[in-house]
Amino acid sequence: MGKMTVIIPSFNEEDNIENTAKVIGETLSDAGIEYNLLFVSDGSTDKTFDIVESLSKADKRIGGIQFSRNFGKEAAIFAGLEYAKGDCVAVIDCDLQHPPATLIEMYKLWEEGYEVIEGIKSKRGKENPFYKMFSAIFYGIMSSLMKMDLNKTSDFKLLDRKVVEALLELPERNTFFRALSFWAGFKSTSVTFDVAERKAGKSKWSFSGLVAYAISNTTSFTTAPLKAVFVLGVLLMIFSLVLGVQTLVNYFIGVAADGFTTVILLLLIIGGCIMVSLGIMGHYLARIYEEVKGRPRYIVSKTTDEE
**DSSP bridge partners of 8:** 39
CB closer to Mg ion, 199 vs 283: 199
**Minimum distance of Mg ion from residue 246's CB (angstroms):** 55
Task: Indicate the residue among 135 and 277 with the shorter CB distance to ligand UDP.
Answer: 135
- Asked if 70 touches ligand UDP (CB under 6 A), the answer is yes
Query: Widest CA span of the chain, in angstroms?
Result: 92
CA–CA dist 282, 219 (Å, integer): 11
Binder among 4, 21, 42, 191 for ligand UDP (CB under 6 A): 42
Binding track over 174-203 against Mg ion, x by CB under 5 A: ------------------------x-----
Q: Report the residue number, 177 or 221, with the smaller CB distance to ligand UDP.
A: 177
Q: Does 5 bind ligand UDP (CB under 6 A)?
A: no
Query: How many Å apart are CA 198 and CA 204, to the nearest integer?
Result: 11
| Among positions 144, 192, 203, 262, the unique one binding ligand UDP when judged by CB under 6 A | 203
**196 three-state secondary structure:** coil
Please choose which of Mg ion, ligand UDP, none residue 119 contacts, taking the beta carbon within 5 to 8 angstroms, the exact cut-off set by kind: none
Of the candidate residues 4, 76, 103, 109, the single one contacting ligand UDP (CB under 6 A): 76
Q: In 3-state terms, what secondary structure has residue 236?
A: helix
11 touching ligand UDP, by CB under 6 A = yes
Q: In whole angstroms, how close is the CB of 203 to ligand UDP at the nearest point?
A: 3
**Interaction of residue 97 with Mg ion, rule CB under 5 A:** yes
Distance CA 29, CA 91 (A): 17
Print burial letters for 57-92: b (CB count within 10 Å at least 16), e (below 16). eeeebbbbbbbeebbbbbbbbbbbbbbbebbbbbbb
Q: Binding of Mg ion at residue 95 (CB under 5 A)?
A: yes
Question: DSSP letters along 158-192, please?
Answer: EEEHHHHHHHHH---SS--HHHHHHHT-SSEEEEE
Residues within the interface to ligand UDP (CB under 6 A): 9-11, 13, 42, 70, 72-73, 76, 93-95, 97, 198, 203-205
